Copies of this chain bind each other. A is one copy, B any other.
Amino acid sequence: MTKQVSRPRAGLSREKVLDAAAAFVDEHGLPALSMRKLGTALGVEAMTLYYYVPSKAALFDGLVERTVEAALDGLVDRPSADWRETAISFAHGYRARLLRHPGVLPLIATRPVNSPRGFDTAERALAAFEAAGLPAGRAMDLFNALGTFAIGHTLAEIGRPTGHEETAEPPAEIDAGTHPRLAALVASGEGLDFDARFTAVVGFIVEGFAPEV
């Protein structure tokens, strides 16, 4: 009498695997993600995932592509008549959506944008900027400047990503004697408003390009 195993199918798909990976990474942090744990989270053995994804590296690639596309998608769909507004809302939208997936951000930050939908967004942004009179090269610079600033700023904003807390030293032992200005700022909270700073700097960048239109 052999044991009769009931093994109904899990009904997975590449999309579901990537969804679960994104959720897992946002909750537990990148380093905690293993194929076995992701499998468990999906009610499946690790090797099953390889039916949907050729390797862990490819899973990461898919994760990045998905998240970046979701972050960029629709951002410049209806460009404003004012190119500045287009640029500013692009930057703010991009940052806001990146913040939704803090676990994936470190992955995004280390790979160039290389996906069709990313290209679409860039193309539309370039079209809007060029239509307003910005030379093509300047339009590209503006787009890239906003993108890279958004990434750098957002990385700082999320701080040490989930999953690194164990290693973290106490956040700061700033000596008011040797670092009076730093200590005062931390105490008062001044200069630590990420929203305000991002808004201001994006504005500065956009204004910097303005004389060229």
Q: Chain A: residues with CB nearer than 8 A to chain B?
A: 57-58, 60-61, 106, 109-112, 114, 119-120, 122-123, 126-127, 130, 136-141, 144-145, 147-153, 155-156, 159-161, 164, 166-167, 169, 171-172, 174, 178-182, 184-185, 190-192, 196-197, 200-201, 203-205, 207-209
| Secondary structure dominating the interface of A | helix
Inter-chain contact A144/B204, CB cutoff 8 Å:
no
Q: Is the CB of B152 within 8 A of A191?
A: no
- Cβ A130 vs Cβ B200 within 8 A: no
Shortest CB-to-CB span from A179 to chain B, Å, is 4
Bound-state Cα–Cα, A145 to B157, Å: 12
Given the interface pairs A141-B197, A205-B204, the reply to whether A119 lies near B161 with Cβ below 8 Å is no
Chain B residues in 8 Å Cβ range of A127: 181
Max count, chain B CB within 10 A of own CB: residue among A151, A160, A191, A209: A191
Instruction: Name which of A148, A149, A156, A190 has the most chain B CB atoms within 10 A of its CB.
Output: A148
A80–chain B nearest beta-carbon distance, Å: 18
User: How far, in whole Å, are A192 and B57 apart by their CA atoms in the complex?
Assistant: 28
A145-B197, A159-B112, A190-B137 given as contacts; is B61 within 8 A of A182 (CB)? no
CB distance from A168 to the nearest CB of B (A): 8
Query: How far, in angstroms, from A180 to B119 measured CA to CA in the complex?
Result: 11
Chain B positions within 8 Å of A122 at CB level: 179, 182
In the bound assembly, the distance between CA atoms of A109 and B106 in angstroms comes to: 8
Least distance between A117 CB and chain B CB atoms (Å): 11
**Distance (whole angstroms) from the CB of A75 to the closest CB of chain B:** 16
Find chain B residues with CB under 8 A from A164 CB.
57, 110-111
A148: which B residues are within 8 A, CB to CB? Answer: 149, 152-153, 155-156
Query: Is the CB–CB distance between B111 and A160 below 8 Å?
Result: yes
- 19 chain-A/chain-B pairs, Cβ below 8 angstroms: A60-B167, A110-B155, A110-B164, A111-B159, A111-B160, A122-B182, A126-B181, A136-B190, A137-B190, A144-B156, A144-B191, A147-B152, A148-B155, A150-B152, A201-B205, A205-B205, A205-B208, A207-B208, A208-B208
